[in-house]
């Protein structure tokens, strides 16, 4: 679950890495946060696609009325 805190933290670490650099711990944390974030996005996209494809195949079978 991506929370606002997570996003804020990712942004904070990103900006800090650009301005003054990160400690080893912060680099590790950034890596973990990014991985969690990417994983969540992928799962979300997969769910969306599953719904879309389910809809497409669903509609496919129900629209054979000759006009």
Comparison of pLDDT for 60 and 7, the residue scoring more: 7
Counting residues of the chain whose pLDDT is more than 70, the rounded percentage is 90
Task: Write down the pLDDT at residue 55.
Answer: 85
Q: For residues 6 and 29, what is the distance between their CA atoms, to the nearest angstrom?
A: 11
Task: Write down the pLDDT at residue 11.
Answer: 96
Please report, for the chain, the start and end positions of each structural domain, with discontinuous segments joined by +: 4-60
Give the fold, CATH level 3, of 4-60. Helix Hairpins (1.10.287)
Residue-averaged pLDDT of the chain: 90
At residue 34's C-alpha, the angle toward residues 29 and 39, to 5°, is: 130
pLDDT at 65 exceeding the cut of 70: no
Q: Is the pTM of the predicted complex or chain greater than 0.85?
A: no
């Amino acid at each position: 679950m991506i929370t606002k805190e997570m996003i804020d933290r990712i942004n904070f670490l990103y900006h800090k890495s650009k301005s003054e650099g990160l400690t080893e711990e912060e680099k590790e944390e950034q890596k973990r946060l990014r991985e969690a974030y990417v994983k969540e996005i992928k799962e979300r996209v997969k769910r969306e696609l599953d719904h879309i494809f389910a809809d497409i195949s669903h509609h496919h079978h129900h629209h054979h009325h000759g006009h």
